[in-house]
């Protein structure tokens, strides 16, 4: 069997092993490739930066534990930015792991902001069922829609920040971390378009192309595109984290996949040439 | 009278419904309706079921992981009806896997009815339709395990799919199954194109009920859909022209946003 | 009536929701809100249906000692552990329940999701072949996108990220818009067919 025939019919296990080895090596020994902030990330950052101190930002975790590597670093970076600006955060979501994701982010970020208090600067209302129906109800009565208790089963009456947040109209902006449905479409349809509210997202890389029409129409101000967007935001808030650390591995993986694709195509073309 | 910004939406809905009802009336009156293009993926269903029958291996069908609110899941039921009847007719084992508990009783009833209509209720097995888990990747893992054990010769994935799509499709490719996939979720279409033999893109899955049944009423409905698309295309072209020739003029956008 | 009843109910409920969305009517809004509540409650009860099916399937597998019946025991044990523990502790906000969840479900979900890296590698290698002109265009745009979106793309060629942005902003967005418009119309047509009772696939075996 010729080399080119083998090249176009590589055993997939070889691909898996090589991928694993390269990713592991680069994670252990990073290269330090420069990261440049793109305009969509900058727009999202500027939108948060423009908010006045004391404004309420609604942060929505519409992702599950499988998307943690892309979404959680983005959420932590955004929270750092928000706390530095003196903004307040109501954290909820349409996915059933929303509360858990916010809890992970808050537990880590709050260590760097000891002056920020739960219930005063940040409230995790967790997941409540209903998706688009939930969002629609939050426009008229957020407390009733959110069932009056937070993720830790505390009553809203015990949380001072909830006294300032009675409906979605009390929030100045929505920042959604989305990895599927329900996600940004529900936010645009039910809340941000009707209320003409600024809306930014952090999306998993595969979901980004689907959000581009909303970005171009101005219904989304800015998008953090996957782990790259999270890394750029970490750069903007000057708090390097796991997203920046993972970008070298992502670069290496993409290059390796391209090399395999090129090898496969060379094998195909050379074999076809030999046959003709 | 109208809710905020709903005037244009109302009139467009009325026009669309009028087009659909007109085509339904024409079809019922026996009048000629335009022919529909071939949808290669749907034509391949017979080939896939035939292959599974010859090899004596099952057909795996997944209606996706969307819930009943999702139009893709509803569209998938039509294709499942067709596939289940063919499998019942040719005594081919069918395995329908479900992620959503509310979808499971419907798929179960569809498959059971298919066997009843073919007069083979005794051949129907309760293990044909299973609910695995509401958790996305638990469902994907269960599908992968089932596919490795049962080695289906045909893998039909029609409905709303998300990140688990490539896991299921790639394992289907590894076991050598013929794969027909379709979803309207734009972020998963590339994965299906890469991993499957046939891929229905976007609204092609909504054509399944009409295309497979060849029912004139449903075919008429399909034509009305195409009229609506053509109308939207014209509006887009007009808007693009206006934006190019006179960038400040936004009367069309204002009209559509009323 | 067994077939007509659900069709009539679907039509009335669907029309009530549509009209309450299009017109500013308080009366229909009350109906819609009530239907929303019914939907949420029914969906929650459907979880019970899934639970019962899982039990039947795996208990039958264990009793008949079918292949892999040991895994069925693990599944049922895990399922009932989380049900009982969750009922005792309340929610994910509880520290101990949260720990159990974070120690099991989270890493397992992340692990299965991570398989995608390997699968996309093998799928890309297999699928992106320059067999036809269209396949070549697909191949070239995929290669440009894959390199352009990561930091090494800018190192290889400083203009590559700009080309990637152009592909994302123009051809991609145009294609996505077209597919989404078509899919929306298809969804509307499907919904209309269900409302007028032509499509009955969801009732089991017809349409």
Q: What is the pLDDT of residues B54-63, one digit of tens each?
A: 999 999 999 9
Of A10, A130, A212, nearest to C169 by CB-CB distance is A212
Nearest residue on chain A to B135, judged by CA atoms? A64
Q: Does A206 touch chain B (CB under 8 A)?
A: yes
Q: List the beta bridge partners of residue A199.
A: A174
Q: Is residue B203 a contact partner of residue B228, using CB atoms and an 8 Å limit?
A: no
The first and second tokens of residue A238, run together, are 């000057």
Q: Give the pLDDT score at C207.
A: 44
Distance CA A59, CA A72 (A): 12
Q: Does B250 touch chain A (CB under 8 A)?
A: no
Beta-strand ranges (E) seen in chain A are: 56-62, 88-93, 122-127, 173-178, 199-203, 222-225
Question: What is the bridge-based pairing of β-strands B129-131 and A56-62?
Answer: unpaired
Kindly determine whether residue C128 and residue A261, on different chains, have CB atoms separated by under 8 Å.
yes
pLDDT digits 0-9 by tens, A258-271: 999 999 999 999 98
Kindly determine whether residue A194 and residue B5, on different chains, have CB atoms separated by under 8 Å.
yes
Kindly determine whether residue A179 and residue B163, on different chains, have CB atoms separated by under 8 Å.
yes
Of A64, A194, A209, nearest to B187 by CB-CB distance is A209
Computed on alpha carbons and rounded to an integer, the radius of gyration of chain B in Å comes to 21
Please tell me which residue, C26 or B225, carries the higher pLDDT value: B225
Q: Give the pLDDT score at C205.
A: 55
Q: List the beta bridge partners of residue B131.
A: B98
The first and second tokens of residue B140, run together, are 């994907």
Q: Which of residues C89, C110, C145 is at a domain's end?
A: C89
pLDDT digits 0-9 by tens, B221-236: 888 888 888 998 999 8
The sign of the CA dihedral A72, A73, A78, A82 is positive
Nearest Cα of chain C lies from the Cα of B10 at a distance, in angstroms, of 6
Name the residue with tokens 């993972």.
A246
Distance CA C12, CA C197 (A): 11
The first and second tokens of residue A47, run together, are 């939108």
- Residue C5, Cβ density class (10 Å: 0-12 exposed, 13-18 middle, ≥19 buried): exposed
Q: What is the mean pLDDT of residues A92-107?
A: 94
Q: Give per-residue burial for A203-231: e unless 16+ CB within 10 Å, then b.
A: bbbbbbbbbbbbbeeebbbbbbbbbbbbb
Looking at the predicted structure, is the pLDDT value of residue A111 above 80? yes
Q: Where in chain A is the domain with CATH 3.40.50?
A: 39-240
Looking at the predicted structure, is the pLDDT value of residue A1 above 80? no
Nearest residue on chain A to B6, judged by CA atoms? A194
Chain A partners within 8 Å of B66 (Cβ): 181
Distance CA B236, CA B252 (A): 10
Q: What is the mean pLDDT of residues A37-44?
A: 96
pLDDT digits 0-9 by tens, C109-121: 888 888 889 999 9
Kindly determine whether residue A133 and residue C40, on different chains, have CB atoms separated by under 8 Å.
yes
Q: List the beta bridge partners of residue B178.
A: B154
Of B4, B137, B162, nearest to A180 by CB-CB distance is B162
Of B68, B131, B225, nearest to C54 by CB-CB distance is B131
Q: Which range (B90-94, C63-67, C157-161) has the least confidence?
A: C63-67
Give C 148-177 residues with CB within 8 A of chain A. 149-155, 161, 165, 168-169, 172-173, 176-177
The first and second tokens of residue B159, run together, are 């409905």
What is the band of C204 on the pLDDT scale with cuts at 50, 70, 90?
Answer: low
Distance CA A232, CA A239 (A): 10
Q: How many CB atoms lie within 10 A of CB C1?
A: 6
Helix (H) or strand (E) holding C115: helix C95-127
Q: List the beta bridge partners of residue B97.
A: B130
Number of structural domains, chain C?
2
Q: Give the pLDDT score at B214.
A: 83
Kindly determine whether residue C151 and residue A35, on different chains, have CB atoms separated by under 8 Å.
yes
Kindly determine whether residue B162 and residue A12, on different chains, have CB atoms separated by under 8 Å.
no
Percent of the residues in chain B that have a pLDDT greater than 90, as a whole number: 56
The first and second tokens of residue A188, run together, are 């645009």
Q: Is residue B181 a contact partner of residue B102, using CB atoms and an 8 Å limit?
A: no
Looking at the predicted structure, is the pLDDT value of residue B42 above 60? yes
- The SS3 of residue A185 is helix
Which alpha helices (DSSP H) does chain B contain, by range?
7-28, 40-55, 71-89, 104-117, 136-150, 165-174, 189-195, 208-213, 216-245, 251-256
Distance CA A101, CA A241 (A): 17
Q: Give per-residue burial for A140-160: e unless 16+ CB within 10 Å, then b.
A: eebbebbeebbbbebebeebe
Distance, CA of C126 to chain centre: 26
The first and second tokens of residue C165, run together, are 């942005």
Q: What is the mean pLDDT of residues A93-107?
A: 94
What is the band of A68 on the pLDDT scale with cuts at 50, 70, 90?
Answer: very high
Q: What is the mean pLDDT of residues B5-34?
A: 84
Distance CA B155, CA B196 (A): 9
Q: Is residue A130 a contact partner of residue C43, using CB atoms and an 8 Å limit?
A: no
- Residue B152, Cβ density class (10 Å: 0-12 exposed, 13-18 middle, ≥19 buried): buried
Q: Does B113 touch chain C (CB under 8 A)?
A: yes
What is the band of B210 on the pLDDT scale with cuts at 50, 70, 90?
Answer: confident
Distance CA B157, CA B167 (A): 12
Chain A partners within 8 Å of C165 (Cβ): 38
Q: Does C125 touch chain A (CB under 8 A)?
A: yes
The first and second tokens of residue C82, run together, are 């989380």
Q: Does B11 touch chain C (CB under 8 A)?
A: no
Q: Is residue B83 a contact partner of residue B45, using CB atoms and an 8 Å limit?
A: yes
Chain B partners within 8 Å of C199 (Cβ): 74, 78, 209, 218
Quote the mean pLDDT of chain A.
Answer: 94
Please tell me which residue, B27 or A138, carries the higher pLDDT value: A138
Please tell me which residue, A71 or C185, carries the higher pLDDT value: A71
Nearest Cα of chain A lies from the Cα of B163 at a distance, in angstroms, of 8
CATH of domain A39-240: 3.40.50
C160 occurs within a structural domain: yes
Cα distances (Å, whole numbers) of residue B47 to B164, B174, B178, B254: 25, 19, 9, 50
Distance CA A214, CA A220 (A): 6
Mark whether C85 and C136 lie in a shared domain.
no
> What ipTM was estimated for this complex?
0.84
Mutate to test the interface with C, among B170, B187, B219 (most CBs of C within 10 A): B170
Q: Give the pLDDT score at C7.
A: 85
Looking at the predicted structure, is the pLDDT value of residue C206 above 60? no
- The SS3 of residue A57 is strand
Q: Which domain holds residue C71?
A: 1-89
Q: Do you know the residue count of chain A?
A: 276
Q: Give the pLDDT score at A42.
A: 97
Distance CA B179, CA A152 (A): 45
Kindly determine whether residue C165 and residue A38, on different chains, have CB atoms separated by under 8 Å.
yes
CATH of domain B40-212: 3.40.50
CA atoms within 13 A on the CB side of B106: 24
Distance, CA of C87 to chain centre: 27
Measured at the CA of B177, the angle between CA B100 and CA C128, to 5 degrees, comes to 100
Q: Give the pLDDT score at C35.
A: 85
Kindly determine whether residue B135 and residue C68, on different chains, have CB atoms separated by under 8 Å.
no
Q: What is the mean pLDDT of residues A113-118?
A: 96
List chains adjacent to chain C, taking adjacency as at least 3 C-beta pairs closer than 8 Å. Answer: A, B
The first and second tokens of residue C150, run together, are 């990561």
Distance CA B168, CA B163 (A): 10
Nearest residue on chain A to B174, judged by CA atoms? A12
Kindly determine whether residue C22 and residue B3, on different chains, have CB atoms separated by under 8 Å.
yes
Q: What are phi and psi of A222, to 5 degrees?
A: -155, 155
Kindly determine whether residue B184 and residue C54, on different chains, have CB atoms separated by under 8 Å.
no
Give B 66-95 residues with CB within 8 A of chain C. 67-68, 71-72, 74-75, 77-78, 80-81
User: Where does residue A64 fall: left (phi above 0), alpha (psi -120 to 50 degrees), or beta otherwise?
Assistant: beta
Q: Does B214 touch chain A (CB under 8 A)?
A: no
- The SS3 of residue A201 is strand
Mark whether C80 and C156 lie in a shared domain.
no
Distance CA A184, CA A192 (A): 10
In eight-state DSSP terms, residue C4 is: H
The first and second tokens of residue A146, run together, are 């959110």
Q: Give the pLDDT score at A127.
A: 93
Percent of the residues in chain C that have a pLDDT greater than 90, as a whole number: 34
Q: Is residue A77 a contact partner of residue A200, using CB atoms and an 8 Å limit?
A: no
- Residue A12, Cβ density class (10 Å: 0-12 exposed, 13-18 middle, ≥19 buried): middle
Looking at the predicted structure, is the pLDDT value of residue A206 above 70? yes
C116 occurs within a structural domain: no
Looking at the predicted structure, is the pLDDT value of residue C199 above 80? no
Looking at the predicted structure, is the pLDDT value of residue C90 above 80? no
Terminal alpha carbon distance of chain A: 17
Mark whether C17 and C65 lie in a shared domain.
yes
Q: Is the peptide bond before A182 cis (omega within 30 degrees of 0)?
A: yes
Looking at the predicted structure, is the pLDDT value of residue C10 above 90? no
Mark whether C85 and C143 lie in a shared domain.
no
Looking at the predicted structure, is the pLDDT value of residue A98 above 90? yes
Chain B partners within 8 Å of A194 (Cβ): 4-5
Q: Give the pLDDT score at A250.
A: 94
Q: Which of residues C40, C73, C89 is at a domain's end?
A: C89
Q: How many CB atoms lie within 10 A of CB C72?
A: 18
Question: What is the bridge-based pairing of β-strands A173-178 and B59-64?
Answer: unpaired
């Amino acid at each position: 069997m010729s080399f080119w025939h083998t090249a176009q019919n590589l055993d997939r296990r070889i691909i898996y092993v090589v991928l694993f080895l390269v990713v592991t090596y680069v994670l252990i020994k990073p290269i330090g490739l420069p990261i440049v902030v793109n305009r969509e990330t900058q727009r999202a950052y500027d939108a948060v930066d423009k908010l006045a101190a004391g404004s309420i930002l609604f942060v929505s975790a519409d992702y599950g534990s499988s998307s943690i590597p892309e979404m959680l670093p983005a959420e932590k970076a955004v929270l750092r930015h928000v706390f530095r600006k003196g903004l307040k955060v109501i954290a909820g979501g349409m996915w059933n792991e929303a509360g858990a994701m916010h809890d992970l982010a808050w537990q880590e970020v709050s260590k760097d902001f000891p002056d920020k208090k739960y219930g005063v600067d940040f409230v995790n209302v967790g997941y409540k069922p209903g998706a688009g129906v939930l969002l629609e109800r939050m426009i008229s009565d957020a407390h009733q829609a959110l069932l009056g208790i937070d993720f830790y089963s505390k009553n809203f009456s015990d949380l001072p920040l909830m006294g300032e947040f009675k409906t979605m109209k009390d929030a100045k902006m929505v920042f959604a971390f989305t990895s599927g449905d329900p996600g940004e479409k529900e936010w645009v349809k039910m809340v941000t378009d009707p209320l003409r509210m600024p809306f930014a997202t952090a999306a998993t890389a595969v979901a980004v192309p689907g959000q581009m029409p909303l970005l171009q129409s101005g219904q989304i101000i800015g998008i953090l595109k996957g782990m790259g967007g999270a890394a750029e935001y970490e750069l903007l808030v000057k708090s390097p984290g796991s997203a920046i650390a993972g970008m070298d591995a992502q670069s290496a993986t993409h290059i390796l996949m391209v090399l395999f694709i090129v090898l496969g195509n060379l094998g195909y073309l050379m074999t076809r040439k030999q046959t003709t | 009278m109208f809710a905020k910004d709903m005037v244009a939406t109302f009139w467009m809905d009325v026009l669309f419904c009028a087009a659909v009802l007109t085509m339904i009336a024409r079809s019922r009156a026996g009048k000629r309706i335009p022919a529909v293009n071939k949808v290669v993926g749907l034509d391949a269903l017979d080939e896939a079921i035939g292959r599974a029958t010859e090899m004596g291996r099952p057909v795996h069908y997944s209606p996706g992981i969307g819930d009943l609110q999702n139009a893709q899941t509803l569209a998938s039921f039509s294709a499942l009806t067709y596939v289940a009847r063919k499998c019942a007719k040719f005594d081919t084992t069918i395995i329908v896997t479900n992620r959503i508990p509310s979808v499971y009783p419907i798929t179960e009833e569809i498959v059971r009815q298919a066997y009843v209509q073919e007069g083979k209720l005794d051949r129907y097995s309760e293990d044909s339709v299973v609910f695995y888990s509401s958790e996305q990747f638990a469902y994907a893992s269960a599908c992968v395990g089932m596919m490795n054990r049962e080695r289906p010769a045909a893998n039909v994935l029609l409905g709303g799919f998300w990140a688990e799509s490539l896991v299921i499709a790639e394992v289907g490719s590894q076991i050598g199954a013929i794969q027909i996939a379709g979803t309207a979720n734009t972020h998963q279409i590339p994965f299906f194109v890469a991993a499957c033999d046939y891929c229905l893109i976007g609204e092609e899955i909504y054509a399944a009920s009409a295309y497979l049944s060849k029912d004139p009423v449903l075919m008429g409905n399909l034509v009305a859909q195409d009229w609506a698309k053509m109308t939207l295309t014209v509006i887009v072209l007009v808007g693009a022209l206006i934006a190019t020739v006179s960038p400040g003029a936004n009367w069309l956008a204002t009209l559509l946003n009323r | 009536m067994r077939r007509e009843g659900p069709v009539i109910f679907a039509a009335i409920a669907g029309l009530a929701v549509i009209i309450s969305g299009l017109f500013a009517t308080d009366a229909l809004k009350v109906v819609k809100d009530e239907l929303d509540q019914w939907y949420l409650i029914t969906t929650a009860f459907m979880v019970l249906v899934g639970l019962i099916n899982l039990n039947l399937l795996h208990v039958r597998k264990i009793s008949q000692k079918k292949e892999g019946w040991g895994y069925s025991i693990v599944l049922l044990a895990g399922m009932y552990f989380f049900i009982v523990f969750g009922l005792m502790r309340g929610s994910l906000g509880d520290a101990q329940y949260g720990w159990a969840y974070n120690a099991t479900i989270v890493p397992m979900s992340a692990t299965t999701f991570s398989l995608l890296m390997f699968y996309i590698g093998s799928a890309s290698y297999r699928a992106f072949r320059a067999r036809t002109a269209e396949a070549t265009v697909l191949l070239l745009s995929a290669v440009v996108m894959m390199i352009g979106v990561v930091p090494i793309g800018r190192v290889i060629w400083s203009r590559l990220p700009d080309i990637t942005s152009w592909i994302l902003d123009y051809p991609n967005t145009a294609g996505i818009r077209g597919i989404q418009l078509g899919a929306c119309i298809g969804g509307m047509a499907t919904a209309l067919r269900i409302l007028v009772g032509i499509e009955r696939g969801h009732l089991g075996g017809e349409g």
